[in-house]
Amino acid sequence: MLNNVPKILSPELLKVLCEMGHSDVIVLGDGNFPADRFAREGNCKLVRCDGHGVPELLDAILTMMPLDTYVEHPVHLMETAPQDKDLKIEVWDEYKEIIARHDARGEKAIGYYERFEFYEQAKKSYCIVQTGEGAIYANIAIQKGVIQ
């Protein structure tokens, strides 16, 4: 046991966060995200966090890990597909609030990838986390900053 570590972060996920270096990316995939396939195709790590939502994991991770300050957008979301452009993605509002609590740039730290570009970037990540998140378009990529 350790003090001040969010309980939602498993030992396996903590190990991954410790192993990551500056500019490494971790992807939190929603319940529909093909995390296992992309992790195998990209030869990156896979951590399962079934039963947990992305917002809770995002908040816990950002408690332990700063966002990269050397890039304009250290956070990327998956853009909605053209047929879903009018959907209100409520989980994004939660992400914006969480990011603002942990990074002074707030919403300005967030960029967007088209769906298939998000998939390609996920394959290049250090780790993909499969969550049980039920919200659609809840996938998020986070780039690690320098620990000071």
- 103 is an active site residue: no
Burial class (CB in 10 A: 0-12, 13-18, 19+), 3: exposed
- 93 is an active site residue: no
pLDDT band at 126 (very low <50, low <70, confident <90, very high): very high
**Catalytic residue, candidates 95, 113, 119, 126:** 119
> 22-41: per-residue pLDDT in tens?
999 999 999 999 999 999 99
Q: What is the dihedral of CA 133, 130, 17, 56, to 10 degrees?
A: 10
**Catalytic residue, candidates 24, 30, 59, 68:** 68
Residues 6+ apart with CB under 8 A from 8: 49, 52, 56, 57, 60
Residue 93's SS3 state is helix
pLDDT band at 142 (very low <50, low <70, confident <90, very high): very high
> 65-109: per-residue pLDDT in tens?
999 999 999 999 999 999 999 999 999 999 999 999 999 999 999
pLDDT band at 2 (very low <50, low <70, confident <90, very high): confident
- 68 is an active site residue: yes
**Catalytic residue, candidates 22, 36, 70, 84:** 22
